[in-house]
Amino acid sequence: MPEAELHSPLPVPAPAPCVFCDIIAGRAPAEVVHEWDDVLAIVPLNPVTEGHLLVIPKVHVVDFGHDPRISAATMRRAAELAAEQWCNVITSRGLVATQTVFHLHVHIVPRREGDGLALPWTAQSA
């Protein structure tokens, strides 16, 4: 049984090349905003707002449910970056939850009055 399945009852996709591991290893380009010993913050390829960042652990973890210690460290770094701004902090777990890269990542999405970014669980409109 793959190691990822040992820590979760949810199925995970078959292992594939990981773009975030490639970025961390220097094999793929990225705009790095901040780097710690354990975590990297980068600008996503298609940011949804100005200042949108991805916070990714340097250790490959499929999602936040697979290693709570690494997930907590990653979220702590995200909180440090987001401390002085209005924002959404988002992570997804699994295909049904719209996870497309199976390496834990936390989106920090800065918000501004009238930014036009609507979330389906709020009454706010675009």
Closest CA to 21 of 114, 112, 85, 105: 105
| DSSP-assigned beta bridge partners for residue 90 | 107
Catalytic-role residue among 66, 103, 105, 107: 105
Q: Which helix (DSSP H) or strand (DSSP E) does residue 39 occupy?
A: strand 39-43
Closest CA to 41 of 15, 74, 71: 74
Report CA 81 to chain centroid distance, whole Å.
13
Q: List the alpha helices (DSSP H) in 13-82.
A: 19-25, 68-82
SS3 97: helix
Indicate if 105 belongs to the active site.
yes
State the catalytic residues: 105
